[in-house]
A = this chain, B = another copy of it.
């Protein structure tokens, strides 16, 4: 089964939407892909003929087993390349997405295997998202964001939902990165802000907005 880069992008987008939204629609997918709904319909027919999606006109669609597998290999490649770009080439995490979007479509599976080994078979990418293994298996961990974390327990930052450069800038300022150990001292009900303590730094207060985006393992 060989797919064009465009097909792979659709497959990946469907995968992500299925995992973050409870209803995936033509319009939603078209917004995700920056195309028109009509183009999505065309592509769905094509993907159906390749047994990548289940699809009945007007009735919605979803990835087949095979489609799911394809999505995971693309995501695996994307995240391995992001890891490479950040940990070997020294990019910042907010700079790597677009480049990884291109690299993920390189076809050689030998390359992926070797890259994975070269990087030391990482389980998580620089944003803390899990990297599927070569069988498509995702190593999951229980995560809680700072707005939900139990108080006074030391936890380790594992991923960040919003991966914009603005967020990176803010986290750099607070000296928070993937792996940083911290605890939540207090949560203020008024505005949902939380006071956190990192190592020997003085406690700081971060907004609810930020807290909801920073995930930890306890």
Contact = CB atoms under 8 A, between A and B. Distances in A.
Interface residues of A, number: 18
Nearest to A90: B114
Contact of A114 (B89, B98, B103, B110): B89
Count of identical protomers in the assembly: 2
Contacts of A111: 85, 89, 99
A102 interface: yes
Interface of A: 85, 88-91, 95, 98-99, 102-103, 106-108, 110-111, 114-115, 118
Contacts of A107: 102
A91 B106 contact: no
A95 B110 contact: yes
A99 B95 contact: no
Contacts of A108: 98-99, 102
Nearest to A106: B102
A118 B89 contact: yes
Contacts of A118: 88-90
A94 B32 CA distance: 40
A103 B107 CA distance: 10
A88 to B, nearest CB: 6
A111 B102 CA distance: 12
21 contacts: A85-B111, A88-B118, A89-B111, A89-B114, A89-B115, A89-B118, A90-B114, A90-B118, A91-B110, A91-B114, A95-B110, A98-B108, A99-B106, A99-B108, A99-B110, A99-B111, A102-B106, A102-B107, A102-B108, A103-B103, A103-B106
